[in-house]
Amino acid sequence: MLNKRFLQKVSRFIAQHGLMEHGRRYLVGLSGGADSVALTLTLKELGYAVEAVHCNFCLRGEESERDEHFCQGFCQDNGISLHLARFDTAAYAALHKVSIEMAARNLRYAYFSRLAADIGAAATCVAHHQDDSVETVLLNLIRGTGIDGLTGIKPRNGAIVRPLLCVTRDEIEAALAEAGQPYVTDSTNLVDDVVRNKIRLDILPLMKTINPSASQSIAATARRVSEAAAALDAMAAKAAAEAVSRRGRTTLISIPTLMAQPAPGYALFKLLKGYAFTPTQIEQLRQTMQAGTGRTFTSPTHTLLVDRDSLVIEPNADGAPPPLVIPECGTYLYSEHAKFRITKTLRGQDFKIPTGDKRRCMADASAVAFPLTVRPAAPGDRFIPFGMKGSKLVSDYLTDAKLNLFDKRRQLIVTDARRRIVWLVGLRTDNRFRITDKTTEVLEITYTADEDA
């Protein structure tokens, strides 16, 4: 039986953060080490319905087998249901090209999620404690981090809860020793061959020679930073409401509005983190976004363009559709979201060229040679803008029209059989195909697109 003071401390922490409810079922990650053994016993003695889950990563030979056997005996002695899982962690790491540590983490939490769903568990409890949170703060500080990295480990992360964050490793080991409860020790935790172990075994002990309460002081600072981060999050949410607008799949961030916020750098970090941009990219952007236009940043999911007074963000393109060949009049799908309709009509005496509709092109049918082709504008494309005599590069025309990089990439053109540009879609027709007094038949091209595509 664990001592009453230890149990009460954990119980108050659970209640304070709303981590668990009596009457619901919970999984507990059980490695066999002091932390997970203390967590499992604590939750059982506090009256929570728990089932343990042990993951054997098959990385430490006989020691891994020892841990599994210990967990089986521990759960049997305490009347706790145990779920066992074995993983070929090394093979997973090689297949997915990740570190052994990352492979073990991915395998463990994926299994926790599936098992919790299978047995109807409200959450999975893991045994991170205060020292783990302190180590995380120091690790993030060494690597370079934003404010969130200095808040330590959160009591809840989705379906994962951490009831022992209020106690230290020393408190855990003392409570187990007082109760006469054995546990196993992972020998790899005693070697300073990875960064976290170096912090645990070398850096924190050195810090405690300066201040014996270093861990408690860092943990208290992390709690204060967490409160400050909550205030900054509220500012970031306000910045998003004021600076962000959306146009279909495009996100626009007003740079002047963003810079007028109390903490523009933090607001920018919060806004772009959701688009998978790295802290390094965000910092580079913060330093250069007011220096000029045209710079781009690419994340695994999105591309960001600095366009004058705006940051323009769009999902990474899947690739443009192949060129659309139009052999004759009719309606043709260019993509899932866009289509072209081509018609011919005789030019009557009362015919007038419609103005103001950028989605329609009127041309002299006799000047246009079928088949037509619809494709994106390409480098080197030239046309003669309506009303002009000399040709102009399409790229220069788009720049003069102040189109941003994304719009330039999407710009479509319609060419005829002689590869002459008939229409810069939505912008301007070519002067060679203009309707004159001699025109007897009018070719009309109508472009329809889903603006939310």
**pLDDT tens per residue across span 384-400:** 999 998 999 999 999 99
pLDDT reported for residue 29: 97
Strand 441-449: give its sheet, edge to edge.
330-335, 338-346, 441-449, 360-364
pLDDT reported for residue 235: 85
pLDDT reported for residue 451: 59
With bands split at pLDDT 50, 70 and 90, how would you rate the model's confidence at 378? Answer: very high
Alpha carbon of 411 to those of 367, 406, 419: distances in Å?
Answer: 23, 9, 17
In 10 A of CB 83, how many CB atoms?
17
* Average pLDDT value for the chain: 91
In 10 A of CB 209, how many CB atoms?
8
Q: Does residue 453 have a pLDDT over 50?
A: no
- Whole-angstrom Cα Rg for the chain: 32
Q: Taking a C-beta distance cutoff of 8 angstroms, is the pair 422, 430 a contact?
A: yes
pLDDT reported for residue 336: 84
pLDDT reported for residue 291: 77
What mean pLDDT comes out for the span 228-241?
Answer: 87
Q: Does residue 320 have a pLDDT over 80?
A: no
d(C-alpha 306, C-alpha 324), whole Å: 31
What mean pLDDT comes out for the span 367-380?
Answer: 94
Nearest partner of 383 among 442, 447, 428, 441, judged by Cα: 428
What mean pLDDT comes out for the span 315-340?
Answer: 89
pLDDT reported for residue 424: 97
pLDDT reported for residue 190: 54
